[in-house]
Amino acid sequence: MSGDKKITPPPVLWAQRKSHLYVTFCLEDCKDPTINIEAEKIYFKGVGGTEHKEHEVIINLYGEVDPEITIKNAKGRLFEVILYKKKEGPFWPRLTKENNKFHWLKMDFN
């Protein structure tokens, strides 16, 4: 029997325009999360939520973004990241490289 705890991903919402993506990590009461942006992936780690648990996720992106011109905003219960696509153009069919359905990832229609 293992004592390892499974770290759950926070709820994530995403939306896009031709030139950029909005990725929102929904984790209330999270102070100073770690958010790392690379050309092909996003890393988020923070403690929060109703149970003040650790949440962590790595999102392998469908396409490439420019990590140098990323905008990060803390908005109370959530953290919004605006990522600029390396190539402006057609909409991505999904956020992730993997063609899987993740229960924690949803399209943001607002």
For the stretch 27-72, pLDDT in tens is: 998 888 999 999 999 999 999 988 889 999 999 999 999 999 999 9
The C-alpha atoms of residue 19 and residue 28 are separated, in whole angstroms, by 29
Domains of the chain: 12-89 (2.60.40.790)
Sign of CA dihedral 30, 64, 13, 74: positive
Averaged pLDDT, 9-13 = 97
Instruction: Supply 31's token pair.
Output: 């102070």
Which single residue is written with the structure tokens 């908005």? 75
Concatenated DSSP letters for the chain?
---PPPPBPPPEEEEE-SSEEEEEEE-TT--S-EEEE-SSEEEEEEEETTTTEEEEEEEEBSS-B-GGG-EEEEETTEEEEEEEBSS--SPPS-SBSS----TTEEE---
* Residue 95 predicted with pLDDT over 60: yes
Computed over every residue of the chain, the mean pLDDT equals: 92
- Write the single-letter amino acid at 26: C
